[in-house]
A and B are shown apart, each in its own frame.
Chain A
Amino acid sequence: MAGPSLMDSLFQRSLDDLIKGLRLHQPTSESTFISKSLDEIRREIKSTDPQTKSTALQKLNYLHSLHGLDMSWAAFHAIEVISSQNFQQKKVGYLAASLSFHSSTDVILLLTNQLRKDLSSNNVFEVSLALECLSMICTVDLARDLTPEIFTLLGSTKSFIKKKAIATVLRIFEKYPDAVRVCFKRLIENLESNDVGIVSAVMGVFCELALKEPKSYLPLAPEFYRILVDSRNNWVLIKVLKVFSKLAILEPRLAKRVVEPICEHMRRSGAKSLVFECVRTILSSLSEYESALKLAVEKVREFLVDDDPNLKYLGLQALSVVSLKHLWAVLENKDLVIKSLSDDDPNIKLEALQLVMAMVSEDNVHEICKVLISYALKSEPAFCNEILGSILSTCCRNVYEIIIDFDWYVSLLGEISRIPHCQNGEEIEKQLIDIGMRVKDVRSELVRVGRELLIDPALLGNPVIHRILSAAAWVSGEYVELSKNPFELMEALLQPRTILLPPSIRAIYVQSAFKVLIFCLYSYLFPDEAVASSPSLPVDLDPGVTSSISPKEFSESSDVVVTEPLADREMDEGFNPRDISQSLEDVSVGNGGDTVIAHEQTSCSATLKKDYFTQESIVKLLDLVERTLCPLMGTHEVEIQERVGNIRGLTELIKQELPEFLVHKERNVEGVKVKALEIVKLMHDAFLEELGPVSTSAQERVPIPEGLMLMENLGDLEGICGDIQLPIPSQFCFGMPHSGGRESTSLFNQQTDEESETSYECTSLLAEHRKRHGLYYLPSEKLETISNACPPAKDPQQSDDLNDDGQDLVKLTEQSLVPKKKPNRAKPRPVVVKLDEVDGITIAVSKPESKDYLISGAVREVLLGNEVSSAQHKLPDKSSNKRREKDKLDIDQPSDTKENLANVGKSETSTSKKSKHHIPGKERKHKSSRKNADEREDVQKDKTKSGHHNPRHKARQRADDNVDVIAQTPVIPDFLL
């Protein structure tokens, strides 16, 4: 290897040369130039000449930070350059260290002595370099070793150094909490400095510390308060406000005290940054002070009308902070919010959208969604999707809390699916299936929407909505008994363009086709039972006709079906659920594309369902299935192949046995067993089993089978399964909803079959079900009682002026955004199946890091120790407070134990530690006299109590360390009084 020669030193490229070289090269040849330069640097950096070395390092710094070159290899060279006497070289070295060193740089410890030396240098600029570097690369060891030097610098007379030392302290504390004990007092003293720069630096440190663990800094409230009132420096004030916004939440009395000064700043200051910080503090932490809140909202409004987009953006952000607690603040500014929806700035639009969504309630969700969708149609794709995404997420919040009219919502989902560039396919898919499983009453509408999506061949060409189509196919198959025209559905599912679908979704299509086929066959082969077992089947029938004809029909059928005559009879009385009239309403009111159906409907209305499934139509259906699915037998996708195989097996069987069956049927021979019939009946029954939403904790409820080793290490499996790819369409749960599938499904069946059972039986069943599965339902209104329900609520005076303009939404919000409860809803909300765990997904509260605990522990110790010793504090009786608190602790213990007295004797073994310490003998004697009294009860109490004892005991031990936790409470009142 060629060592660095004199030539290298004399003709070394400087940083300027390097930059010039870089500029001369084209982007294509740049990388070769850089690697050539890097070779040079590697050679030069080994030079014994410090100047050559430092220049090489300087070039490396440059390439590292602007061209992303690794320089960790040069760590040792950096330390060498830092040790130079030459200021310029030292500076280069320190820059290199601060750019590239981190906690796992191994040579970092070699720097300790050099840092110590430079921190004690007479040259302030050398000290400054060392401080800067330390604040960037601080490790636990460096922090521990250099704390004394930093402490000295905190007392420096030169503000230039002191400021930097203060800022460095933050990093030292973070790495080495014990430093708090040394440096904290000096830090606090500096809060009273006359130098604004110093106060600003200290406040910066406290702001960082307090944001992480605010509680510990409550005792400093008096100092902060003084700064809040006295300081006129905006930078300092903003930091103080940030601290108070954390402290005020913890201590309401403090909040009361600071709210006025903050308002004063808000009124007085001309600096927007300060005003905004005041506004943010009030909105986030002091929003219960009405006058302050009003003032803040006023200021927000000023921001919103300002021409500066920055202020507008911040104003909207501030509103979203307060929107949860005080929606009126948003409503008051709704005109501006809605205007911002059409702003040029995408950020502003997004904020405005969030606020509009915050205003959505169950009363206005129709109108807002309608207008937002018209906005979406006009917007560019990205924002369009934002709008659609937030509509979807808002509507499904808390298990569709705000949706009353699910028919409307489902058709909205259908509408959204058709919007070009809609990227929310996955979410819509999820919701369509979820609603289908949760909300029984909406299924017929769901099937209608699904049909419309499925029969449109154009949609198949758009990969984005394939996911939605898969949901539509699943829904149509699962609830096929609600379909108006199963034959048409079958054609849609098997249309040639389905070849465009990805295999996983195609498999769902095939499976749905299977369900449809089974349904058609069953309806044909068992016409009477089909009518009986699927209550909503005759959707094609006009309600009026149903009521006039069906009694006859049902009495007939009840003769045939001897098994459940009562159920049938009851059913036709309570028959005519709301959704039938609803779907009819929709069909007739809805789009003109439905004319075919409408026609069919009228033609069908007179005839009966069983006539609908004629021999001819069934044969045609079988032909269609055979013709389209047979070619798929050769596909490479197992999912498809297997399902097609199933269907084919069935169709062939049917084709063989159908003639035989027909003969029997003609002769009206009863009791003939035909194999295909059995299968069809079996399959139909299987498909009739309802699928429900799956609880997130369902797995836990599965009893662990004996002999199953759950804890066994399955690491070896990885090698075996590593290359197996999971199938994509795992969203569907084809399985049973719960572990105890039998019970739950039988219940579901009963529900379907006997909808009109007496409410008592219903509730008792539910209760039983709940007990067994922990499932919960919303309290259900009896839907059947409101048979002639009104059509969906549409305000006539609103529907016409809803063109697509911001003005309209403004107008609309005038009317409907006021959160008032409508006394009477046009239509009761259908039952939505809810699983308890799904709603209450608890957000894991992130615990502060242990480091912060350490810091805060040390801080408390220092602060309270301080107060005991320091005379200069304005809180004279604080130490006595603390003592009083300690006394209180001691008093507490006996009183606490008194409660437990009754148990002590019994549980002496379990809680012996505790009782030994705290129970005075007198009480124990006292106790023993009534020991016999409730011995049995005692045992029980013991069991529960002893569970609590240990933690409590521990807590008390801890309390000795952290007396301050309790002592804090008195600290603040002193200041407040």
Chain B
Amino acid sequence: MIRAVMVINTTGKPRFSKFYDFQPVEKQQEIMRRIYAVLCSRPESVCNFIEAESISGPDTRFVYKHYATLYFVFLFDSSENELTMLDLIQVFAETLEKCFKNVCELDLVFNYSKMHTILDEIIFGGQVLETNSSEVMKAVEEISKLETASSALSLVHKSVSGWRSR
């Protein structure tokens, strides 16, 4: 299974993280720190797979991809294929591109919830469920529609309740 998905920028700031097996938050932070320490020491154009047993326990490795100012990192175990994980990062990045048009770090910074929505359509509980970015986008758009509809509703609701409580 996939153990975690992380996006870390080139200065080491985590921009997104999702762990599929429960880890205490300190441990999460430590894993991200140590992975970043490995990443920033690696030159360009070397291989993207790294054994991570010392970082996140037995039978774990991670694959990363470097886009502009961001590292996308997938942490996984032996039931996944390294090259498909690399492809999956590509799918994730492509979907982000479709979603934000010329995606940049700032988009990710301000769309934390949407990142979750997108990733949840691709990976579910550590299992890969959808690898077609258009399919992912379809679901994400539906969900966004639903969200805006409900938030519009809550805005009305909020002002009414505000009046009432006065």
Question: Contact residues of B with A, CB < 8 Å?
Answer: 1, 14-18, 20, 22, 25-26, 28-29, 42-43, 45-51, 78-79, 81-84, 86-87, 109-110, 112-113, 116-117, 120, 124-125, 127-131, 139, 142-143, 146-147, 149-151, 153-154, 157-158, 161-162, 165-166
Docked-complex contact A238 and B84, CB < 8 angstroms? yes
Docked-complex contact A49 and B161, CB < 8 angstroms? yes
Residue from B109, B129, B161, B162 in contact with A197 in the complex, judged by beta carbons closer than 8 Å: B129
Q: Is A144 close to B, CB under 8 A?
A: no
Q: Is A23 close to B, CB under 8 A?
A: yes
Docked-complex contact B157 and A51, CB < 8 angstroms? yes
What residues on A are CB-neighbors of B109 within 8 Å?
A: 19, 23
Q: Is A69 close to B, CB under 8 A?
A: yes
**Which A336-351 residues sit within 8 Å CB-CB of chain B?**
344-348
A15 and B42 alpha carbons, distance in the complex (Å) = 34
Q: Is A62 close to B, CB under 8 A?
A: yes
8 closest A-B pairs by beta carbon, nearest first, are A135-B125, A273-B83, A345-B46, A309-B47, A68-B29, A313-B47, A87-B150, A102-B22
Question: Contact residues of A with B, CB < 8 Å?
Answer: 6, 9-10, 15-16, 19, 23, 49-51, 58, 61-62, 64-66, 68-71, 86-89, 91-92, 95, 102-103, 123, 125, 128, 131-132, 135-137, 160, 163-164, 167-168, 170-171, 197, 200-201, 204-205, 207-208, 211, 234-235, 238, 242, 272-273, 276-277, 309-310, 312-314, 344-348
Chain B nearest CB from A186 CB (Å) reads: 17
Docked-complex contact B47 and A65, CB < 8 angstroms? no
Residue from A66, A170, A313, A347 in contact with B127 in the complex, judged by beta carbons closer than 8 Å: A170
> Can you name 8 A-B pairs with beta carbons within 8 Å?
A10-B162, A132-B120, A167-B129, A204-B128, A235-B84, A277-B81, A313-B49, A344-B46
Docked-complex contact A70 and B25, CB < 8 angstroms? yes
Docked-complex contact B125 and A86, CB < 8 angstroms? no
Docked-complex contact A171 and B130, CB < 8 angstroms? no
Docked-complex contact B154 and A88, CB < 8 angstroms? yes
Residue from B22, B147, B154 in contact with A50 in the complex, judged by beta carbons closer than 8 Å: B154
Chain A nearest CB from B49 CB (Å) reads: 6
Residue from B14, B83, B146, B147 in contact with A276 in the complex, judged by beta carbons closer than 8 Å: B83
Docked-complex contact B113 and A15, CB < 8 angstroms? yes
A518 and B147 alpha carbons, distance in the complex (Å) = 89
A314 and B166 alpha carbons, distance in the complex (Å) = 67
Docked-complex contact B82 and A314, CB < 8 angstroms? yes
Docked-complex contact A211 and B78, CB < 8 angstroms? yes
What residues on B are CB-neighbors of A137 within 8 Å?
A: 22
A66 and B84 alpha carbons, distance in the complex (Å) = 27
What residues on A are CB-neighbors of B110 within 8 Å?
A: 16, 19
Residue from A86, A171, A273 in contact with B84 in the complex, judged by beta carbons closer than 8 Å: A273
Docked-complex contact A207 and B79, CB < 8 angstroms? yes
Docked-complex contact A160 and B139, CB < 8 angstroms? yes
Instruction: Tell me whether A273 and B151 are in contact in the complex, defined as CB-CB below 8 angstroms, given that A6-B165, A66-B14, A125-B143 are known contacts.
Output: no
Docked-complex contact A163 and B129, CB < 8 angstroms? yes
A125 and B121 alpha carbons, distance in the complex (Å) = 11
Residue from B22, B25, B131, B161 in contact with A235 in the complex, judged by beta carbons closer than 8 Å: B131
Name which of B87, B125, B139 has the most chain A CB atoms within 10 A of its CB: B125
What residues on A are CB-neighbors of B20 within 8 Å?
A: 136
What residues on A are CB-neighbors of B86 within 8 Å?
A: 310
User: Which residue from chain A places its CB closest to the CB of B29 in the assembled complex?
Assistant: A68
A496 and B110 alpha carbons, distance in the complex (Å) = 66
Chain A nearest CB from B47 CB (Å) reads: 4
Docked-complex contact A66 and B129, CB < 8 angstroms? no
Residue from A87, A208, A235 in contact with B147 in the complex, judged by beta carbons closer than 8 Å: A87
User: Which residue from chain A places its CB closest to the CB of B155 in the assembled complex?
Assistant: A51
A207 and B17 alpha carbons, distance in the complex (Å) = 25
Instruction: Tell me whether A6 and B162 are in contact in the complex, defined as CB-CB below 8 angstroms, given that A205-B127, A310-B83 are known contacts.
Output: yes
A344 and B45 alpha carbons, distance in the complex (Å) = 9
What residues on B are CB-neighbors of A135 within 8 Å?
A: 124-125
Chain B nearest CB from A28 CB (Å) reads: 15
A66 and B165 alpha carbons, distance in the complex (Å) = 35
Docked-complex contact A310 and B124, CB < 8 angstroms? no
Docked-complex contact B125 and A347, CB < 8 angstroms? no
What residues on A are CB-neighbors of B116 within 8 Å?
A: 95
Docked-complex contact B50 and A347, CB < 8 angstroms? yes
Docked-complex contact A344 and B43, CB < 8 angstroms? yes
Instruction: Tell me whether A238 and B125 are in contact in the complex, defined as CB-CB below 8 angstroms, given that A310-B48, A310-B86 are known contacts.
Output: no
Chain B nearest CB from A655 CB (Å) reads: 58
Docked-complex contact B165 and A273, CB < 8 angstroms? no
A204 and B123 alpha carbons, distance in the complex (Å) = 12
A204 and B76 alpha carbons, distance in the complex (Å) = 13
What residues on B are CB-neighbors of A234 within 8 Å?
A: 84
Docked-complex contact B1 and A208, CB < 8 angstroms? yes
User: Which residue from chain A places its CB closest to the CB of B51 in the assembled complex?
Assistant: A347
Chain B nearest CB from A955 CB (Å) reads: 32
What residues on A are CB-neighbors of B45 within 8 Å?
A: 309, 344
Docked-complex contact A201 and B142, CB < 8 angstroms? no
Instruction: Tell me whether A167 and B127 are in contact in the complex, defined as CB-CB below 8 angstroms, given that A310-B83, A345-B47 are known contacts.
Output: yes
Chain A nearest CB from B88 CB (Å) reads: 9
Docked-complex contact B81 and A238, CB < 8 angstroms? yes
What residues on A are CB-neighbors of B25 within 8 Å?
A: 64, 68-71
12 more A-B residue pairs beyond the given contacts A238-B84, A242-B79, with a C-beta to C-beta distance below 8 A: A58-B113, A87-B150, A88-B151, A125-B146, A137-B22, A163-B130, A238-B81, A273-B81, A309-B47, A309-B48, A310-B48, A347-B51
Docked-complex contact B83 and A347, CB < 8 angstroms? no
Instruction: Tell me whether A201 and B83 are in contact in the complex, defined as CB-CB below 8 angstroms, given that A88-B151, A347-B47 are known contacts.
Output: no
What residues on B are CB-neighbors of A163 within 8 Å?
A: 124, 129-130
Instruction: Tell me whether A68 and B120 are in contact in the complex, defined as CB-CB below 8 angstroms, given that A86-B150, A235-B84 are known contacts.
Output: no
Residue from A87, A123, A170, A314 in contact with B83 in the complex, judged by beta carbons closer than 8 Å: A314
Residue from A19, A71, A310 in contact with B49 in the complex, judged by beta carbons closer than 8 Å: A310
Docked-complex contact A167 and B147, CB < 8 angstroms? no
Name which of A16, A65, A135 has the most chain B CB atoms within 10 A of its CB: A65
